[in-house]
Amino acid sequence: MISTQVRQSDTNVIVWNCEDPKGKTWELDRSMSSGGWFQIKYTGPTQESFDLCVAGQTPGGARDFGSGSQFYLWRCLEDDPTQQFRWTGSRHAGGRHTDGGRAMSWRQNPKYCLDAEDFSNGDKAIAYGCTTQLLDHQIWAVL
């Protein structure tokens, strides 16, 4: 599950266990996207007066985003490809809490997927090359 420690613009997105829902309430929002893409909108308490979405940056931008770069929260913007994701690849076999999951590719550069990097609390949620090998750290599901 992805999580945030501080809920304000420019907060880095991290991995955290599912036991406590605090800081881990998200919505896959298609209202400001098109063509099957969606934004991952944070729906918990925030210090901002606007909605926050998971975002990345273009290479050479403020964060010089590429493989291994950490996703972060930013003001939700209409049709912004740096904030849009899509389910991709085959469905992973389900576990006891889900019916499986799939990878999420990033619209700004679809060769990158949302990746958990590792499974320890506090690890980065990063951009990493999408693979057909169904890496566990690239499989996401709606609970």
In tens, the pLDDT along 51-81 reads 999 999 765 666 667 888 999 999 999 989 9
* Higher per-residue pLDDT: 134 or 140: 140
Q: How confident is the model at residue 127 (pLDDT cuts 50, 70, 90)?
A: very high
pLDDT for the residue numbered 22: 67
- DSSP 8-state symbol, 120: S
* Higher per-residue pLDDT: 85 or 139: 85
Q: What is the mean pLDDT of the chain?
A: 81
pLDDT for the residue numbered 85: 95
The pair phi, psi for residue 60, each rounded to 5°, is 85, -5
User: pLDDT tens digit string along 13-52?
Assistant: 888 877 766 667 889 999 987 888 999 999 888 888 899 9
Amino acid at position 92, single letter: H
Q: How confident is the model at residue 103 (pLDDT cuts 50, 70, 90)?
A: confident
> Per residue, what are the HEC states of 3-41?
ECCCCCCCCECEECCCCCCCCCCEEEECCCCCCCCEEEE
Please report, rounded to a whole number, the percentage of residues in the chain having pLDDT higher than 90.
Answer: 30
pLDDT for the residue numbered 97: 46
